[in-house]
A and B are shown apart, each in its own frame.
Chain A
Amino acid sequence: MSPSVPSLGQPPLTPAVFHILLALADGPLHGYAIMQAVEASTGVDGRMGPGTIYGSLQRMEDAGLVREIETDEGRRRVFALLPAGRRALVLESRRLARLATMVRAKRLVPKESPG
C-alpha cells in the first residue's frame, strides 16, 4: 500500500469515511451539504446525522485526509479533500469497482443499464 495514505484512509474504508470522501470529490462542501451529499449516495437508510458526520470529519482531519478551509462566501467554512484523501478515495473506489465486477460476474444481481 502507498505509505502516503494514513491508516484511517487504508481500504477498506468505513462507510462514513468513504461517503464523506465521495461527497467531497467534486469540491469543498460545508457540513450540511456533506450531509445532503451523503444521503444522496447512501440512500435514506444509510443517512447520517451531523454528529456522525463531524465525528468522522474529526478523525479524517486528524488523519490528514481532509482539511477545513475558509471560503469567500460568508462565514461558512467548508471541508476540502487533501491529496491523501483523494488517494484513499481512489484506492477504495478501485477496490469497490473490483468487487462490483466480481459481484456482477457471479450474476447475483440483475444486470442494470449503466446510467
Chain B
Amino acid sequence: VNRHSLSLWLYRRLLGLYPEEFRVRFGSHLESDFLELLARQGPRAAWRRVVGDLANSVRLTHQYAHSERRRVYAMSLGGERPMGSVLFDLRHAVRSLWKAPVFTAVTVLTLALGIGANAAIFSLVNAALLRPMGYESPDRLMMIHEAIPESKVPRFGVSPADYLDLVQYQRSFTGIGVYRSRAMELSGTGEPEQVDVAQMSASVLPILGVNAADGRTFAPDEDQAEASVVAISHAFAERRFAGRSAVGERLILDRRPYTIVGVMPASFEFPKRGAEFNAIPADVYMPLVFNPFEREARGMFYNHSVVGRLREGMTATQAALDTSALAARVTENYPAGLRQMGFTLQIAATPFVDEIAGQVRRPLLILLGAVGLVLLVACANVANLIVSRSVTRQREIGVRVALGAANHRLFQLLLLESLLLAFAGGAAGLVLSQWAVRAMPAVIASSLPAVTGVGLDLRVVGFTFGLSLATAVVFGLVPLASGLRRNVGDTLREGARTTGGRMQHRMQKGLVVSSVAFAFVLLVAAGLLIRSFANLMAIDAGVRGTNVLSMEVTLPLAGYNQASRVRSFYQTVQERLGREAGVRAAVVTSDLPVRGDGERRVFTPSGYDPSAPIASSVAVTWVYGDYFSTFGVSMVRGRSFTADELQTDRKVAIVSRVLADRYWPGEDPIGKQIKWGGPSSTAPWQTVIGVAGDVVDGPLGDEPVIHIYVPYAEVADEALAAPVAGFLRRMTIAVAGNVDETRLASPMRAAVAAFDPSLALAGVTTLREVLREATAPQRFSAMALGAFAGGALALAGIGLYGVLAFGVSQRTREIGVRLALGAGRGEVIGLVVRQGLVLTTIGLVVGALGAVAAVRVLGALLFETAVYDPFTFAIVPALLGVVSLAACYVPARRASRIDPTVALRSE
C-alpha cells in the first residue's frame, strides 16, 4: 500500500471534484476500488482506467445532483400538484410564523388593534349616521321649531296653538304632524311599570310613510276627540303578547283602558334619539288630542315637536324660507299683551335627518378619521415588521431559488404567510371590536341618535379586513421582489445583505417617519379634546352630587284628578322620607337640575322696562321640600322656603343669580317681584325671598339659564288636577343621604308604596350619574381619541425601535470596526440615538404640519380651548421625543456592547 500512497493521495484530492452527496455516499467505495486496481494492475493501468472516467463522471454526477436537488425540493414542497403544494406551503407558513413568535404576535396584535378600533367606531357611525331610519325618504322630512331670540334659549318646540296656525298657513309640506313624549303608568297585569308614550296627531304616521304591520294606524278623526286607541311597538308587542296578535287587546295606561288597534313594524322606532325634545323612543303611540285650553294658549306649551314632509318639487331651503315667513302671521294671533313685550317669534324648519344625527355627526366623523389614522399607523408598523423580517429571510429565499424553487412557489409561500397574518389579525380585531362595542357605556349608545343597538356591521368588517389584507400582501411580497432581482450567487454570498438591506431600510425609515407624524396628529387632537374636557369638568355645575338618589313617578289622572290627592302625595312622601334615618334632605320636584328638560315659561319681573329687550322665557322648577340642600345648590342671598310657604301659597319665589343680576343689577333682589306671562298678565306677583346659585341647565359649558323656583303650593288646584298639566304630575323624588346612595332606594320605594302601592317608579338615577351624562359625549370623544393616540404613540415607538434595532444588527460589523479602531461606547450610542432622533424630528415636522391642518375640524368640539393650544402643541413633541429616546435606548445599548472581535468574526 505504501508504494501507492502518492497515487491514493492524489486520487483522494481528485475525488473532491465530485458533488458532496456522491462523495459521502461512494467515496470509500471509490477509494477501495482504486486501491484494488492499483494492487492488481499497477499505477499506470489504474490511472489510465480512472482519468477519463473522472472527467466523464464528475460532470454527470453534478448534473444528476442538481436535478436530484430540484426533484427533492419539489417533492419536499408537496409536489407540483396545485392543492398539494398550497397545503404544504400553508403548513410551512404556519411553521415559519410559529418559529418567529415575537414577530407574529406583534404583527397580529398590531393588526388586531387597528382593525378592532376601526370596526368598533365604524359600527357607531353606521348605527348613528348610516343605518336607514325606517321611514319613507327621510331626506324629505323636516322638523319645525320656534325660537324667541331674546330668551337666550336657542329654540323651543312648537306650542299647540301655533301648530294649529301652521297647519292652516303652511304650503311647503304635504302635511305636518305634531307629537310629544311622555311617560305613563302601565298597570293591569303584574307590577305597575312606566312606559314611554308618544302622543301624536293622526297625520304623523302617514307623514313618516309608515303603516302598521298588524292592524291599523290612527284614523284622521281620532286626534279630534278622545278615542282611547293606541298602537304599540313591535318590541313591546313581543314582550307583552308573546306570540299572539295584540290587536284588539286592552292596555291600562294611567288607569284608563285603551284598545290596541295596531302593531308597528319591527324596524319602526319613533321618536328617534338625538333630537332636542321629545326624543325618547316610545313603546306606545296614541292620538294627541289638544283640549280647548291648549288650542288657545299662546306663549306657553312650547314643548311639541312638529314634523312635515316636503311637497313634491319643494326644496328644503325653500321650505325653510317659507316657514320662517309664517312667523309674522302666527305672532298676529298672540294676545296684544304678549305682543307688547317686544319679543320676536321665529319659526324655523330644518331637515329631519340633521336634527336627529346633526349633533353627533361631527364628533363621530372626527373619531372615524382618528381611528383611520390609527389604522394607517398600524399598517405602517406591520409593513415595517414584515420588511425587517424580509431582510433576514433574503438568505432563505436565495437558498430556495438556488435549490430550484420556482418563482410561483415562493410567491405562494410568502402570500400565504401574509394572508395568515392578516386573517389572524383580523379575527383578533373582530373579537376586540365586539368587546369594545359591548363595553361601550350604555350612556354613549343612548346619547347617540337613532341608536337602539350598536352591532358590528359586516361592511365594516369587510372593509377593515380588506385594508389589512392589502397591507400584509403588498409588504409581504417585498422580500420576493428584491430576492428575485438579484442573482442567486449574490444573495448567497455572505456579505450580500447590505445592498438589499439598504433599499428596505430606506423604506422602513419612511414608514417610521409617517408613523411618528400620524401619532403627532392624533396626540394633538387627543390632547386638545382632553384639555377641553378637563376645562368642561372644571366647570362648577352648581350642584353637589354626593349620595343623591332620585326616581320619577307619574301620577295618573285616573287616581289623581283631585288637587288635594296630588298635594297629599308629595307632602306625605317628602315628609316620610325626611324622617328616614340616614336622609339628610328630601324633595319632591318637577325636574332634576343639570338635565335642563324642565318647563319654561314667559315671565315679567317687577320694574320691567318695556324698551329693554327682555327674556320672555325662564326655566321653572316646582318643589316641595328642601330642593337646595338636597342637590347642594348654594343660597347666595335670602333664604329657602319655610314649611309654611311650601304648604300654603304665600306667593314667594326663589330666583337664580343670573336672573337677579340681569333684571335688578346693583339692587337687592330680595323683595322684588315676578309674575307669569307678559306685562299685561293678570297672574299674581310673587315675591323673591332668596337667590340661588346658578345651576348649569343643559349642556355643560353653555351659559347658565335663568331659573325660578316656586313651591308646588303656587300651582292652582285646577292646574294640578287638569289633564293638560300632565307635566306637573310627573314628579321627581330626590333624597340626599348621609349614607351611601344605594341604601336610599328601598326607603324611597317604601315611602311611595306606602302612599299608593300601584304607582310605577322609573328613572332611578343618582345626581352623580346625571352630571356624568351631561359630559358623556365629550368624555367619550376624549377617551376614545386618547386611547387611539396612546395606541398610535406606542406603535410609533415600536416602529422606531424596530428600525433602529434592525439597523444596529445590520451594522454590527461596521460598529465592530469602529470599536476596534478606538471609538468609545458613548460615540456608538450617539450614532444610534442620532439616527433615531433624525427620524423622529422629520416625523415631528411632518406631523406638526399635518396637525396644524387637521385640528381645524376640532374647533367646534372644543370648550375654552384654542385649536392651536400652545400647551398641547408643546407637550406632544416632548412626549414623542421621550418615547423615541426610549425606543432608541435598547438598540443603542446593544450596539455599544458589541464585542469587536465577535463582530468581525461574525461575518
Interface set of A (CB-CB < 8 Å, partner B): 31-32, 35, 47-52, 54-55, 57-59, 62, 76-77
Contacts and interface: CB of A to CB of B under 8 A. Distances in A.
B22 A58 contact: yes
Nearest to B40: A32
A59 to B, nearest CB: 6
Interface stretch (B23-31, B515-523, B744-752): B23-31
Contact of A50 (B25, B34, B58, B68): B34
21 contacts: A31-B30, A31-B33, A48-B53, A49-B52, A49-B54, A49-B56, A50-B29, A50-B37, A50-B53, A51-B18, A51-B30, A51-B56, A51-B61, A52-B56, A55-B57, A55-B60, A58-B22, A58-B61, A58-B64, A62-B68, A76-B32
A35 B64 contact: no
Interface residues of B, number: 23
Given A35-B33, A50-B50, A58-B22, 18 more contacts: A31-B29, A31-B30, A31-B32, A32-B33, A32-B37, A49-B52, A49-B57, A50-B30, A51-B18, A51-B50, A51-B56, A51-B57, A51-B61, A54-B57, A55-B22, A57-B26, A58-B61, A58-B64
Given A58-B22, A58-B25, A58-B26, A52 B57 contact: yes
Contacts of B56: 49, 51-52
B240 interface: no
B64 A55 contact: yes
A31 B34 CA distance: 10
B171 interface: no
Nearest to B30: A50
Chain A at the B interface: mostly helix, strand, loop or mixed?
Answer: helix
A58 B58 CA distance: 13
A17 to B, nearest CB: 12
Contacts of B34: 50
A52 B58 CA distance: 9
A76 B30 CA distance: 12
B49 interface: yes
B36 interface: yes
Nearest to A48: B53
Q: Which of B33, B49, B58, B60 has the most CB of A within 10 A?
A: B33
Contacts of A77: 29
Nearest to B31: A50
Contacts of A52: 53, 56-57, 60
B23 to A, nearest CB: 10
A22 to B, nearest CB: 19
B33 A50 contact: yes
Contacts of B58: 51
Interface of B: 18, 22, 25-26, 29-30, 32-34, 36-37, 49-50, 52-54, 56-58, 60-61, 64, 68
Contacts of B68: 62
Q: Which of A32, A47, A54 has the most CB of B within 10 A?
A: A54
Contacts of A55: 22, 57, 60-61, 64
A55 B52 CA distance: 14
B765 to A, nearest CB: 83
Contact of A54 (B29, B36, B37): B29
Contacts of B33: 31-32, 35, 50
A83 to B, nearest CB: 23
A31 B31 CA distance: 11
Contacts of B25: 58
Contacts of B53: 48-52
A66 B859 CA distance: 86
A86 B739 CA distance: 101
Contacts of B37: 32, 50
A52 B36 CA distance: 17
A107 to B, nearest CB: 36
Nearest to B25: A58
A62 to B, nearest CB: 7
A54 B26 contact: yes
A48 B55 CA distance: 12
Q: Which of A52, A57, A58, A62 has the most CB of B within 10 A?
A: A58
Contacts of B26: 54, 57-58
B49 A59 contact: no
A6 B642 CA distance: 113
A63 to B, nearest CB: 11
A25 B25 CA distance: 23
Given A35-B33, A54-B22, A49 B61 contact: no
B61 A32 contact: no
B56 to A, nearest CB: 6
Contacts of B60: 52, 55
Nearest to A47: B49
A49 B58 CA distance: 12
A68 to B, nearest CB: 9
Contacts of A31: 29-30, 32-33
A59 B19 CA distance: 14
Nearest to A79: B29
A47 B58 CA distance: 17
A48 B32 CA distance: 16
A59 B65 CA distance: 10
A59 B71 CA distance: 13
A15 to B, nearest CB: 13
Contacts of A58: 22, 25-26, 61, 64
A67 to B, nearest CB: 13
A55 B29 CA distance: 12
A31 B29 CA distance: 7
A51 B68 CA distance: 18
B49 A49 contact: yes
A62 B33 CA distance: 21
Contacts of B52: 49
A54 B64 contact: no
Contacts of B18: 51
B502 to A, nearest CB: 43
Nearest to B15: A51
B814 to A, nearest CB: 46
A78 B50 CA distance: 21
Q: Which of A47, A52, A59 has the most CB of B within 10 A?
A: A52
Given A32-B36, A32-B37, A51-B54, A59 B29 contact: no
A7 to B, nearest CB: 11
Nearest to B63: A55
A15 B26 CA distance: 21
A114 to B, nearest CB: 32
A32 B28 CA distance: 12
A1 B831 CA distance: 71
